[in-house]
Amino acid sequence: MIKLPRIICISLCIFALAACSSAPKSRYSMRVDSAPITLIPDHEPSIIIPQFEPYRLANMRPYTIRGINYQPILSGKGVVEHGYASWYGQKFHGHLTSNGEVFDMYEFTAAHKTLPLPSYARVTNTKNNKSIIVRINDRGPFHHNRILDLSFAAAKELDYLSTGTASIKLEVIHVDEDNMVTVANNPSISLNQYLDPSPIESNANQLFIQIAAFNDKAKAESLALAANVIYQHPATISANNKIYRTLIGPIDNRVLADALLLDVRGTGYDQAFIYLSE
């Protein structure tokens, strides 16, 4: 009468161990996502230049996550959204995205629940007005209060890594097969005009990058001289109320300005930003 319970206990233990060993494993080696251990990769993020890419039909199918049904839309043209963005990194780095591409947290990419894949979008952090162009190639984030999941690099560029989420404005940049570009709900223009617009009139607002500002005019001038060599683009200073700003510009178009801004920030001027002259 004493042996039977022991046999039952042993059998139950063996069964429990077998059940644990046969439980499905996650494809991710990390349980919780995090920033990378190495914050600076061997390569700089690629500048995202929108272009025509056919949507992948496989990504148009409806799908269900955690009991919620999602229906991808047929076109991103004209889409503008306001909401919160989160970011993802180390846990998903090296794994396949919903578009069948390898996720690289050091590139400017993003995930959206219903936009066609791939899509391009301009994302603006509404708190600091920093913006970036990303390529959307993944699905997510699957939280009711978030509309976009940005890669680690993109979130770093928009300066919200520490807070985890940020209030954003998302504007789809749609390029059709005739190379016509529609940014948000603005009138369509040709891709050539978008990438290389006509020279700016002398009396119109012009694009500049502010590298830094000083109380000392000599420091601003010294930085301008160095910037001419380092960034291979004209640099000057602007004075207002005894504040001397070191500027790069004028710059012909926003794509070039975005590329130059990355170069400037990559040399240590993290507070550099793009602005329109008055």
- Read off the pLDDT of each residue in 74-92 and give the average, rounded to a whole number: 94
The pLDDT score that the predictor gives to residue 253 is 85
**For 225-252, what is the mean pLDDT?**
84
List the domain boundaries for the chain: 57-195, 207-276
In which band, very low, low, confident or very high, does the pLDDT at 201 lie, cut at 50, 70 and 90?
Answer: very low
* Band (48; pLDDT cuts 50, 70, 90): confident
Domain 57-195, classified CATH 3.40.30.10, yes or no: no
Least confident window among 33-47, 152-166, 207-221: 33-47
pLDDT of residue 204: 54
Which of 13-27, 193-207, 261-275 is predicted with the least confidence, judged by mean pLDDT? 13-27
Please give the structure tokens belonging to residue 240: 């207002």
The three-class DSSP label of residue 276 is strand
CATH class belonging to 207-276: alpha beta
Q: Classify 63 in phi/psi space as left (phi over 0), alpha (psi -120 to 50) or beta.
A: beta
What pLDDT was estimated at residue 247? 92
Give percent above pLDDT 90 in the chain: 45
Average pLDDT of the chain, as a whole number: 82
**Tens digit of each residue's pLDDT (9 = 90 or more) over 180-195:** 999 999 999 888 777 6
Matching residue, tokens 């999602």: 70
3-state secondary structure 70-101: ECCCCCCCCCEEEEEEEEECHHHCCCECCCCC
Q: What is the pLDDT of residue 19?
A: 42
